Amino acid sequence: MKAMGPIPAGYAGVDGELAIAGKPVSQWIAKAGATPLFVYDSARLTDRVARLRAAMPERLAIHYAIKANPFGPVLKHMAGLVDGFDIASGGELAMARDAGFPADRISFAGPGKDDRELEAAITNGVTLNLESDGEMRRALAIGDRLGMAPRLAIRVNPDFDLKGSGMKMGGGAKPFGIDAERVPALAREIAESGAHWRGFHIFAGSQALSAEAVIETQAQTLALAARLADEAGVALPHCNLGGGFGIPYFPGDEPLDIGAVGDALGAAFANLPDVLQDCAFAIELGRWLVGEAGVYLTRVIDVKDSHGEIFVVVDGGLHHQLAASGNFGTVVRRNYPVAVANRFGEEPAQYAQSVVGRLCTPIDRLAEKVALPPMAEGDVIAVFCAGAYGASASPAMFLGHGPAKEMLV
Ligand SMILES: *Cc1c(COP(=O)(O)O)cnc(C)c1O
């Protein structure tokens, strides 16, 4: 047997069935009409933002990095909860606008913004987090041509990274951001260009569960912002401190202590250097806000035995939930939290079962050799932590089965 990650707090059974938002999953499946299905719980999204606000200093704005889950109804719900949306493409800009989110609270990061994306951002008044000096020159030229002053911030490639984070996105040579030593000169150039100078965006990594690591990174981020603003000799109107708050996916993972992070940030805000006194601060989170609110439901089509290993074949797979198969930014494959939704709370079988998707590739495994109740055709498997980097981060076109349904409840 191999262990699974912990089922997120608060999921419980009703009459032996997993409940989402207080109702058994069979009701949600009946409403959607079919599996595979992602169900997102709006009350959990609301609760998550409220918990974060309670833990963080009041001065800190909360942004949602919409690439974690850009499903329209989720965006509309989040739009009423957070202070900003962070986007990473022209397509995400359109989604954010469709959700009714005000453009002046959107910021756009991402290497390789093309001229059409820059123009759409400038026309809408979205803040561009510049990823290179070339991008700055193109943005200024487009602004000139349109007769509009672009809102420009610099995404800084910090000279450190978030320790213990799942994905390293800062420190050393990176395609993201502008190396710290080149930032002061560019900041001056922007401030003198007639563009709206919007400060810094400093993102050092993702999926950290250690409060100590997040606290250290935030301290380094504030120190870097202060040093660069000092060197540039320009005031800093805004600084996006990045994010990196992780959620437990795997055996042994413990939730991040956001209370400790908020306390440390509050103390740091109380002792800011002069150059940051008037600066507005934000963090940008994706998975921490939405990951645990989503469950992927997929039905058992077949159960088979091969050389003594039991394979439970479901009607979904990695084409909807790539991350749970272990092929989205993880080095070693480990099991996400998984349950048999219609046998919730039943005793596990004495033998191991592997849940596999229906794709013709050996990497399509949603759970490997796990202890779950004996499964049969028609059972429904629930994969937790599916609210972030699920439907939109999986190759839905692969093998032609098509996308899963999604619903916000
Ligand atoms: C992906 C990304 C995020 C969100 O990351 P999570 O781990 O989901 O919180 C935030 N900021 C930037 C710049 C990103 O690329």
CA–CA distances in Å: residue 115 to residues 47, 155, 260, 311: 39, 18, 42, 49
Q: Among residues 148, 88, 87, which one has the least CA distance to residue 112?
A: 88
Does 178 share its domain with 304? no
In total, how many domains does the chain have? 2
Does 329 share its domain with 264? no
* CA 169 to ligand 1 center in whole angstroms: 9
Domain assignment present for 218: yes
Domain assignment present for 233: yes
Domain assignment present for 226: yes
Does 268 share its domain with 367? no
Domain assignment present for 125: yes
Domain assignment present for 118: yes
Q: What is the pLDDT of residues 156-165, one digit of tens each?
A: 999 898 987 6
Of the residues 265, 285, 305, the one at which a domain ends: 285
Does 238 share its domain with 90? yes
Of the residues 249, 270, 285, the one at which a domain ends: 285
Domain assignment present for 95: yes
Q: Please tell me the pTM assigned to this model.
A: 0.96
Name the residue at shortest CA distance from atom 5 of ligand 1: 286
Ligand 1 neighbourhood includes 70 CB (under 6 angstroms): no
Which CATH number fits the domain that encloses residue 143? Answer: 3.20.20.10
**Confidence band for 389, pLDDT divided at 50, 70 and 90:** very high
Which CATH number fits the domain that encloses residue 369? Answer: 2.40.37.10
Domain assignment present for 47: no
* CA 68 to ligand 1 center in whole angstroms: 7
Domain assignment present for 36: yes
pLDDT more than 70, % of the chain? 98
Of the residues 246, 265, 285, the one at which a domain ends: 285
Q: Pick from 167, 206, 256 the residue to mutate for probing ligand 1's pocket: most ligand atoms within 8 Å of its CB.
A: 206
Ligand 1 neighbourhood includes 109 CB (under 6 angstroms): yes
Q: What is the pLDDT of residues 327-369, one digit of tens each?
A: 998 889 999 999 999 999 999 999 999 999 999 999 999 999 9
pLDDT more than 90, % of the chain? 96
Domain that holds residue 241: 70-285
Q: Is residue 167's pLDDT more than 80? A: no
Nearest atom in ligand 1 to the alpha carbon of residue 67 is 1
